[in-house]
Structure 1
Amino acid sequence: MVGPLVFCVLCWSIYQQLVKQQNWQGSLQQTWKAVSGPNAWMLVLTVILIFANYGLEACKWQLVVKQVQPASFVQACKAVFTGTTLAFFTPNRIGEYMGRILYMGEGKRIQAISLTIVCSMSQLLVTLLAGIGGILYLMTYANTELLHTFAGPWMKMVLCFTIGAAIVLTLFYFRLAGLVRWMEKIRWLQKPVVYVRVLQSLNATILIQVLSLSVLRYSVFLGQYYLLFNVFDVHITAAQVAGGVSVMFLILSIIPSIAVITDLGVRWKVGIEVVQLFDSNISGILATSLAVWIINLVVPALIGSLLILSMKVFNNRK
């Protein structure tokens, strides 16, 4: 009963969140019109990029978990989609880890959690570094009056915080083995350190490969936004998309949220505040945020819920 229940709850929660947003009908109508518009091919390409997005994430996960259990690319994709489903219901996507380890063998799941966190660290590091570039871009090229209204003195504070966080995270990311050795010296950490000792097997080559895949995945995100802004008549350049969306992702990574409850509202608010620094088409910005939310979160979460259902059916047959 778990699979059907998750699927039904997910659909109902998505509907409830959608109808609570202001002007959701207009955004939905504009999204629907785009399907038959001259730029419909861009919308189709954006949907196809789901597979590039989650395929790259699957490659990252496959690369790190082979330290404890080899996984095929298909199995890695299933794990990523299942993790997305459980992440939909939990604060800041922490359920993603539990969803992925369902595909690991008994006795290896706790180790897999620490390895999965490495994937999240790499993506967060890329988000922080790109966010720093985005803030500098906005401070240089955005509408000065609107920027002051949107951020004011907070912009420099966020910039300093992000630079500090990026430095700390970089040190942690490339010094995981040293972190484990430090934990081994603390008596009360002797038991839990057993489960993170596998991090010592992640050498610099693997960490750089994971980070490179995170950069590629981030580029896919930016490409999706660029395509959808064109679909919904938000006239901004590729550089403006990169600068603005990077700041959007940075803010979304900082603000605590639960995807199924608050994520869409936060995306709409942040999207409007940032992108209107370059273009005033509010309805187009809303439609873009809605389309990205559906394509990158809702559709994968629904796929994951079906995979959970298939796992239940398969186990029952066994």
Structure 2
Amino acid sequence: MVAGKLAITLLTLGLLWHSVVADAATAAAWRGLLTRTLSGQGRGPVLAALLLMPLNWGLEAWKWWRLARHLEPVSFRRSFRAVLVGLTLGFVTPNRVGDYAGRIMELKSRRLDALGAVFLGRYCQLVATVAAGTVGLLYFLLRFYLPGYPAAQLGVVALTVVLNAAVLLPLYHSELLVAAVQAVKPLRRFSRFLTIMPTYPARILTDALLISGLRYAVFCAQFGLLLLAYGVQASAGPATAAIAGTFLLKSLVPSLNALADVGVRELSATHLFGLLGEPVLPVLSASLSLWVLNIAVPSAIGLVFVLRLKVLRKRKQSRPEAAEAV
């Protein structure tokens, strides 16, 4: 167990070093951010984006707390710790599957059921991302790619509505997701982990979805503040559409780890903001800085909890419910 913790620590620190210091583009963006802050240019927006970081992950912890309480009594403090541990473990694993491990290890029982709960929370975030992102991409399709084609415009609008309905429906009828997984032979062995999902009442699902929406708004606000700090001059409406489209395109591309997300987000952001006439460097700098603030820094903080993590807990047979919520 000690060797595993040490390996995770070294790998995480190595990736952080490679991302923030060794990689020339990221290092230049970070130096530019520090220079602007220390010189007074963009100081307010950058500090505001930084202050939103704990709110961002606090909302994620709140969402996990709402979902985890359906499985066992759990405190918000433990939920926040689980989110940071999951973020750190997810930093070094394909498609951030370590996020699942980090959260379930903080629970004391029903850990297999917790896999379905984590998936449910991520699905709620996907619903929010798809809802905003499809509207953002719709703006670019209508303005830049389909002007003068009213039939095609009507078609993509209808497709947007259908797509959002198709994504939202399984959230409140998760038995459809379970059935879909069972129908695919290679995935069938995972279906038992998802059987907990249909037991969640609509009230908890709606809460999780609303929290996901709030967290998405915080993400957008951070990106907007960093774009402002770096001197991007796009109007609020088109800029919001570009931000939403960027987040959607990033979420649709599987990644090897959190480091791989950087390239996907930067490519999407520079393309969409390029259509608005914005230069590449300010957009690239803002996007890289967003990654540092929301992924790299919290992952480093989460290392403290990873090193203190007790993977194998001694289960006490008669433990009052109050003691469950540490």
TM normalised by structure 1 equals 0.83
Q: What is the aligned partner in structure 1 of residue 321 from structure 2?
A: none
1:205 and 2:203 aligned: yes
2:246 touches 2:269 (CA, 8 Å); kept in 1?
yes
How many residue pairs align between the two structures? 301
Cα 1:42–1:192, aligned 2, differ >3 Å: closer, same or farther?
Answer: closer
Residues in 2 aligned to 1:190 and 1:45: alpha-carbon distance in whole angstroms: 46
Give 2:141's aligned amino acid.
Answer: M
Name which of 55, 60, 63 aligns with 1:60. 63
1:47 and 2:45 aligned: no
Cα 1:157–1:311, aligned 2, differ >3 Å: closer, same or farther?
Answer: farther
Q: CA deviation at 1:240?
A: 2.1
Deviations along 1:159-213, whole A, 9 cap, x unmatched?
88766553332221111257669999xxxx9997665443233111111111111
User: Alignment RMSD, CA only?
Assistant: 3.2
Q: What is the aligned partner in structure 1 of residue 238 from structure 2?
A: 240
1:5 and 2:7 aligned: yes
Identity, in percent, stands at 27
Residues in 2 aligned to 1:125 and 1:308: alpha-carbon distance in whole angstroms: 30
Q: CA deviation at 1:28?
A: 2.8
1:131 touches 1:246 (CA, 8 Å); kept in 2?
yes
Give 2:58's aligned amino acid.
Answer: G
Deviations along 1:232-283, whole A, 9 cap, x unmatched?
1111222122200111111101111123442222222222111122242321
Name which of 296, 299, 302 aligns with 2:297. 299
1:135 touches 1:159 (CA, 8 Å); kept in 2?
no
2:105 touches 2:311 (CA, 8 Å); kept in 1?
no
Cα 1:195–1:268, aligned 2, differ >3 Å: closer, same or farther?
Answer: closer
Cα 1:162–1:137, aligned 2, differ >3 Å: closer, same or farther?
Answer: closer
Which is worse superposed, 241-250 or 266-275?
266-275
Matches within 5 A, 1:136-147: 136-141=138-143, 144=144
Give 1:136's aligned amino acid.
Answer: L
Unmatched 5+ stretches in structure 1: 149-154
Q: What is the aligned partner in structure 2 of residue 125 from structure 1?
A: 127
Matches within 5 A, 1:30-41: 30-36=32-38, 37-41=40-44
2:19 touches 2:26 (CA, 8 Å); kept in 1?
no
1:27 and 2:25 aligned: no
Cα 1:227–1:197, aligned 2, differ >3 Å: closer, same or farther?
Answer: same
1:105 and 2:103 aligned: no
**What SS does the corresponding residue of 1:311 show, helix, strand or coil?**
coil
Q: What is the aligned partner in structure 2 of residue 95 from structure 1?
A: 98
Q: What is the aligned partner in structure 1 of residue 76 from structure 2?
A: 73
Q: CA deviation at 1:285?
A: 0.9
Q: What is the aligned partner in structure 1 of residue 226 from structure 2?
A: 228
1:27 touches 1:287 (CA, 8 Å); kept in 2?
yes
2:96 touches 2:258 (CA, 8 Å); kept in 1?
no
Unmatched 5+ stretches in structure 2: 147-152, 314-326
Residues in 2 aligned to 1:15 and 1:157: alpha-carbon distance in whole angstroms: 47
Cα 1:18–1:179, aligned 2, differ >3 Å: closer, same or farther?
Answer: closer
1:82 touches 1:305 (CA, 8 Å); kept in 2?
yes
1:116 and 2:104 aligned: no
Give 1:205's aligned amino acid.
Answer: R
**What SS does the corresponding residue of 1:256 show, helix, strand or coil?**
coil
2:173 touches 2:198 (CA, 8 Å); kept in 1?
no
TM normalised by structure 2 equals 0.81
1:235 touches 1:279 (CA, 8 Å); kept in 2?
no
**What SS does the corresponding residue of 2:308 show, helix, strand or coil?**
helix
**What SS does the corresponding residue of 1:103 show, helix, strand or coil?**
coil
Give 1:88's aligned amino acid.
Answer: F
